[in-house]
Chains A and B, each alone.
Chain A
């Protein structure tokens, strides 16, 4: 057993867990954050993607104790109160989901992708960057549309803020 201390969605949390406990299980079972899903459990499907110290990782392939000391953002940490994060809003607007199981991982991957491409995204890049996330319902079209739309909205938002600041 080890003590695991994390900052999850802005809150400091700690708990005791077996060293073999996976981060995804710690989030779901110890912290009750069940938005992060376990799909394949073999690091292929991406339903478990969360951000660890600002980078998208597969939480089914990391031990909770490995993450101790890190800052984590899960799907529950994106919205600002009742206001959806632009990526969440774009998935809703463009119907980027059907059953919804892969959606938390898709959105966490998308927010990381948009942050890593401040120059903007094109369809080919989005599709290539989604290779670690599997969706069995949508055929990806509306997911790609949603990510492209969110990327534009967020770029405009950033410009607006820069103007305000200036």
Chain B
């Protein structure tokens, strides 16, 4: 790792100020950033640690409205009893990230700001039609995820929370790489007052996306049988040593079907 200057922010405003130092980066759980720094894929001059800021932590549930602080760990999301009541799908999704030690450190804000094309949270937030709240504005998930490791976040902008309305039904299923635990394909489906949404991670060349094919089939009937024989085009999907685009296309249909079955169970 190259030399770096560490700062512990005392507030979100303080973090925004500290981010103006050189080539500074925000540090939350560090589960992606620190490994990237160790391999020198990332070499920030300064790190601004926001993981201990109390106002960025915790899950709040008010009626059907869920708000999760950006520095809330995957473990805390996966075990939150209020969340499990209104949106068990998201708690379950968080329990599938990495391994227990990674879940104790990694955070929802860090995951979505990084927007890894195989991360789980981007699919969940896109399928839940969530709103991403920053220190400057609110951004709809549909506008937030821009491509591989790209988001709508501007220079110096800090994710403070995410918020969504718990849907009537939702579930997430992923086909994991057995070594890295990242999704080769993960599909999050939800059925709420604005209809059906299905988001796919791990597969798209431009990162997370909504599957028109899956959504159209489920709009007719939110039932696993509605996806029988569904063909998802391989165009625009990734091919790498783990899976071809065609294999991923097939997995999207399979994972979507399992997710709908789980959502209806």
Asked if B2 and A58 sit within 8 Å, CB to CB, the answer is no
Q: How far is the CA of A42 from the CA of B41 in the complex (A)?
A: 13
Interface residues of B in 85-106 (CB under 8 A from A): 98-102, 104-105
0/1 string, B100-121, CB within 8 A of A gives 1: 1110110000000000000000
Q: Which residues of B contact A112 (CB under 8 A)?
A: 100
Q: Could you mark each residue 8-34 of chain A with 1 if its beta carbon is under 8 Å from any beta carbon of chain B, else 0?
A: 000000000011101000000000000
Question: Taking the nearest CB of chain A, how far is it from the CB of B183, in angstroms?
Answer: 15
Interface string of A36-78 (1 = CB under 8 A from B): 0000011110100100000111100111011000000000000
Count residues of B near A (Cβ-Cβ below 8 Å). Answer: 27
- Please give the distance in Å from A162's CB to the nearest CB on chain B: 24
Q: Which residue of A lies closest to B176 (CB)?
A: A131
Could you tell me if A55 and B47 are in contact, using CB atoms closer than 8 angstroms? no
B104 close to A63 (CB less than 8 A): no
In the complex, per-residue mask of A120-134: 1 if CB is within 8 Å of any chain B CB, else 0: 000000000101110
Contact of B101 among A18, A20, A42, A46 (CB under 8 A): A46
| CB atoms of B100 and A20 under 8 A apart | no
Once the chains bind, are B99 and A19 in contact (CB under 8 Å)? no
Q: Which residues of B contact A65 (CB under 8 A)?
A: 6
In contact, B38 and A132 (Cβ under 8 angstroms): no
Output the nearest chain B residue to A54 by Cβ-Cβ distance. B104
**Given the contacts A19-B3, A63-B30, A66-B6, A58 and B102 also touching, CB distance less than 8 Å:** yes
**Chain A residues with CB under 8 A of B62:** none
Is A109 close to B, CB under 8 A? Answer: yes
A131 near B181: Cβ-Cβ < 8 Å: yes
Within 8 Å CB of B37, what residues of A? Answer: 20
Q: List, in ascending order, chain A residues with CB within 8 A of B3's CB.
A: 18-20
- A113 CB-CB contact with B under 8 Å: yes
- Give the B-binding residues of A (Cβ under 8 A): 2, 18-20, 22, 41-44, 46, 49, 55-58, 61-63, 65-66, 109, 112-113, 116, 129, 131-133
